[in-house]
């Protein structure tokens, strides 16, 4: 049981570090507004996709699963991290480091999806999801 707690703490720390690094890199990339407008637009998308990575570790957002359910699985977060790593402009040490860091973390998360021994962290549990597939709340009997 103590081993599972250690694994959950490591997953929590990894998610917070990954989200924080990506938010910092994309905030720095916002300065490209005059020199590289495409990088500026990518940084806006990067910031909006990175902030929930950190926020969901501390407080669940029940409405987010309806619009962005990929935040609630290893596969979804892994693909998101790979996408974010491709959106970073690689100028400077922090940007190059974060590209490799996000890409490797994304691949590890994708592998964790298919490994049955990895437990699901509490941040992957959706508060507002129904228990059955196709459950309609507005059915009147």
Residue at 9 is within a domain: yes
**Side-chain half-sphere of 28: how many Cα atoms within 13 Å?**
16
By residue range, what is the domain housing residue 92?
2-124
131/73: higher pLDDT:
73
What does pLDDT average to over the chain? 85
Q: How many CB atoms lie within 10 A of CB 9?
A: 11
Nearest to 75 by CA among 110, 122, 121, 119: 110
Q: With respect to residue 139, please indicate whether it lies within any of the assigned structural domains.
A: no
Of 85, 87, 86, 15, the residue nearest 44 (C-alpha):
87
| Stretch 67-90: mean pLDDT | 91
Is 96 within a domain?
yes
Residue 137 lies in a domain: no
Domain for residue 136, yes or no? Answer: no
Does 134 fall in a domain?
Answer: no
- pLDDT-based confidence at residue 131 (cuts at 50, 70, 90): very low
Geometric angle at alpha carbon 1, from 118 and 20, rounded to 5°: 55
Determine the pLDDT at residue 116. Answer: 79
Our count of domains for the chain comes to: 1
In a domain, 116, yes or no: yes
Kindly report which listed range (1-5, 31-35, 116-120) carries the lowest average pLDDT score.
1-5
- Tell me what pLDDT residue 90 has: 80
């Amino acid at each position: 049981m103590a081993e599972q707690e250690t694994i959950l703490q490591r997953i929590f720390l990894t998610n917070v570090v990954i989200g924080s690094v990506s938010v910092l890199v994309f905030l720095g990339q916002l300065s490209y507004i005059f020199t590289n407008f495409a990088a500026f637009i990518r940084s806006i998308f990067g910031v909006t996709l990175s902030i929930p990575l950190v926020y969901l570790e501390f407080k669940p957002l029940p409405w987010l699963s309806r619009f962005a359910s990929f935040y609630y699985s290893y596969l979804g977060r892994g693909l998101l991290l790979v996408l974010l790593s491709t959106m970073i402009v690689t100028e400077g040490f922090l940007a190059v480091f974060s590209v490799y860091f996000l890409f490797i973390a994304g691949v590890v998360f994708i592998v964790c999806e298919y490994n049955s021994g990895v437990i699901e962290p509490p941040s992957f549990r959706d508060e507002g999801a129904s228990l059955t597939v196709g459950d309609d709340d507005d059915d009147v009997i």
